[in-house]
Structure 1
Amino acid sequence: MRACAAIGVVITHVGFQTGHTTWSTGRLLGRFDLAVAVFFALSGFLLWRGHAAAARGLRCTPPTGHYLRSRIVRIMPGYLVAVVVILTLFPDTNADLTVWLANLTLTQIYVPLTLTSGLTQMWSLSVEVTFYLALPFLALLARRLPVRARIPVIVGVALASFAWGLIPFSVPFGVNPLTWPPAFFSWFAAGMLLAELTVSPVCWAHRLARRRILMAVVALTAFGLAASPLAGPAGLAPGTLGQFLIKVSMGAVVAGALLAPLVLGPGAGAERPGDGQGSDTSHRFLGSTTMVTLGRWSYGLFVWHLAALAMVFPVIGEFPFNGHMPVVLALTLVFGFAIAAVSYALIESPCRNALRRWERRNDVTPLDSSVSDSPEPAVAC
């Protein structure tokens, strides 16, 4: 699913760069940016599930130190290499010290005019890292709640997050509070709710999630609404607050409807209370060797795809905004996954495995996403 989300991000950027910004195709291709909602929901699900299980006595509370170390090692090495290479070699960055510092620290959504060429997609990674930092505090507050109140409270906070845009902020030119983390909490909450449900007794939500055709219809309908004028104009033109809220709410629905059958359906992971159907059965398509491999490289694709896209136009002898989307998309994916594979093999995987080896010498801990106390594997995958 990560691979699908990363490809979705590539599609929306290739669509824009090849000039598909008209009403017909521009809206549909542009709305593939809701792939970011899938990324956020996946993070909410995987990082919250250990806390949901611990609240029900199924495992120990995920240790914060291990969690923060694993997040840093998962995100920063590959990211920092990309920032240094792109800011150094990209001809259009013109990066000053402020741009360098904001991008190296993933604070570019808070610092005016620091989203720069080749790295503009990193606004979402900045949001995600803020969620990583906030999650231990959210988990600490949630531990004070009765188990039966956890799901209603998450729903309530997600609904309250829609009011973020109503808060009157005084910000400098070049900073948009609607790109700050609270505006997108509902996307993380979609995954957090699914995490809670995976360790809850079977109820109507599980039975609904098992109706895959219905979930697909829900996702497609929400995607269509998000691509309509109700969610704002095509292209990069800003919409109204109401249009932004429609887009964000539909993003939460799309992400939830896509993930629910994978994590709540029959054979979708660890056994739930009252359900004898839990197993680790692989999804026929998403669990294939090809998709699992692309999933491992998906973070690298996300980080490098704009650089790969910039390489494509000189290769085919065309300028941006002149069409040729099928060729540009295919080459961007080929170049992007090639760079991502190298990044994974030389940077991401060695760093993660080095951390695993260090931790196993000191304190073997379960995976943050595990619903049991089984130790994490020695090799990260």
Structure 2
Amino acid sequence: MTAPREVDQGGLEAVSTVDRVPSLTGVRAVAALLVVATHAAYTTGKYTHGYAGLLFSRMEMGVPIFFVLSGYLLFGPWVKAVAAGAPWPSVRRYAWHRVRRIMPAYVITVLVAYLIYHFREAGPNPGHGWYGLFRNLTLTQIYTDAYMFSYLHQGLTQMWSLAVEVAFYVALPIMAYLLLVVVCRRRWRPVPLLAGLVGLTLISPAWMVYVHTATHLPDGARLWLPGYLAWFTGGMILTVLAAMGVRCYWFIAAPLAVVCYFIASTPVAGEPTTSPSGLAQAVVKTLFYMAIATLVVAPPALGDQGWYERFLASRPMVWLGEISYEIFLVHLVLMEIAMVEVLHWRVYTGSMPVLFVVTLALSIPAAWLLHRLTRVRS
């Protein structure tokens, strides 16, 4: 049996021609726009504006949406192989495609950022050194104590999430083996498989308890994969449900996602920061983000054909989704340049919508060019 060849993709998850769903590419566009929006809100000082600030900060929801998509799309080949009694996917091929998809554009972005900030002063930049360059290039910058004061680099602060994504890539074949071979005995047994995925999901709140109570862990441990595994397992659960023929409709998922978003935008999910300082808030935020991101992805992943799916599958959304990964990579460098050189604003001042639009105006052409240079071809 010959697997379909991979084609030019946007986002992080290259999928085969046969399996590709345009609306899921559109979801990547939504995720990228949310990430740019939340950073525009932070840069213009909107996080401190009460409940509105929390609403803006929770637009970081783009990151868990990316993670849910990764869990759904990348776990799919293993689930389909077991469900169809087909050969097990090649781990070597999987690993090569992961490296080929993310590293060329990422390496170029990191090198350009280091070059720009070698000549440009933009405040504290602790990661700007040869060892910081090495740690950022290898996506190992989060595996340290005092990450914020050691390897954080201007224009690359969002890359902690890419380091988590890569850790998931490494762990996925192991998790697939445990779930599908050890638990399911290489047979299609969706109930034990879902139970195993629920067990993996519980690792995230357990990790939150651990990092908030242990004294021997580096502070970077709050950014490690176990704390965000629930977001990936949300997508993995969708993969199993899709193979079972389950359907999810936008008129159910969308209102639930909105309600969860407004709840998560209260202090119950902590202050407007990546990792809330309180244990209860960290657990609530992790689980609500999993629910919201999974609800956003569920309708197109589970076969809905309503207006929501048609909007996500529209040409503009698919086109933006194609370059969503590259937008994610370049937008912070260009946002800082937009603030200082184009808008002439000081940090934590100015209009969030204006900065959002100007940043996109700079980022989209740069992302398109980077995508053209590094895209995966047939």
- Using the size of structure 2 for normalisation, the TM-score is 0.84
SS at match of 2:263: helix
Partner of 2:222: 178
1:26-105 maps to which residues of 2 (within 5 A)?
Answer: 26-57=53-84, 59-90=86-117, 91=120, 92=122, 93=125, 95-105=128-138
Distance in structure 2 (CA, Å) of the matches to 1:135 and 1:327: 40
Partner of 2:207: 164
Answering whether residue 171 of structure 2 is matched by residue 134 of structure 1, we say yes
Give the aligned partner of residue 197 of structure 1: 241
Matched to 1:219, the amino acid is A
Conserved 8 A contact 1:186-1:252: yes
Structure 1 unaligned residues grouped into runs of 5+:
269-280, 354-378
Contact persistence 1:231–1:239 (CA under 8 A): no
Shift in Å, 1:55? 1.5
Structure 1 residue 82: deviation in Å? 0.5
Matched to 2:298, the amino acid is A
- Structure 2: gaps (5+ residues): 1-26
Letter in 2 for 1:122: M
1:144 Cα deviation from its structure 2 partner:
2.2
Q: Does 1:154 align with 2:197?
A: yes
User: What is the DSSP-based 3-state SS (H/G/I as helix, E as strand, rest coil) of the residue aligned with 1:56?
Assistant: helix
SS in 1 for 2:153: coil
Deviations 1:209-264 (A, max 9, x none): 22x22211111111112110101123578430110111110010001111111111
Counterpart of 1:61 in 2: which secondary structure?
A: coil
Aligned counterpart, 1:271:
none
Larger relative contact order (CA 8 Å, sep ≥ 6)? 2
Q: Displacement of 1:267 after TM fit? A: 5.4
- Using the aligned pairs only, state the percent identity: 34
Contact 1:169–1:177, Cα closer than 8 Å, also in 2: no
Task: Name the residue aligned to 1:288.
Answer: 314
Corresponding residue of 1:248: 286
The aligned residue for residue 358 of structure 1 is: none
| Alpha-carbon separation, structure 2, partners of 1:329 and 1:58 | 48
Which whole-Å deviations, capped at 9, do the CAs of 1:58-80 have from their partners, x for residues lacking one?
Answer: 53321111101110010000000
RMSD of aligned residue pairs (Cα, Å): 1.9
1:177 is matched by which residue type in structure 2? A
| CA shift in 2, pair 1:60/1:307, >3 Å | same
2:317 maps to amino acid: M
- 2:346 maps to amino acid: F
Q: How does 1:1-381 map to 2 (within 5 A)?
A: 1-21=27-47, 22-57=49-84, 59-90=86-117, 91=120, 92=122, 93=125, 95-111=128-144, 112=147, 113-142=150-179, 143-146=181-184, 147=189, 148-167=191-210, 168-172=214-218, 175-202=219-246, 206=247, 209-210=248-249, 212-234=250-272, 238-266=276-304, 283-313=309-339, 314-346=341-373, 348-349=374-375, 352-353=376-377, 379=378
How many corresponding residue pairs?
Answer: 331
Structure 1 position 169, deviation (Å): 4.9
Distance 1:197 1:60 in 2: 21
Q: In structure 2, what residue type is equivalent to 1:77?
A: P
Which amino acid in 1 is paired with 2:201? A
Task: Look up the SS of the partner of 2:354 in the other structure.
Answer: helix
Match of 2:24 in 1: none
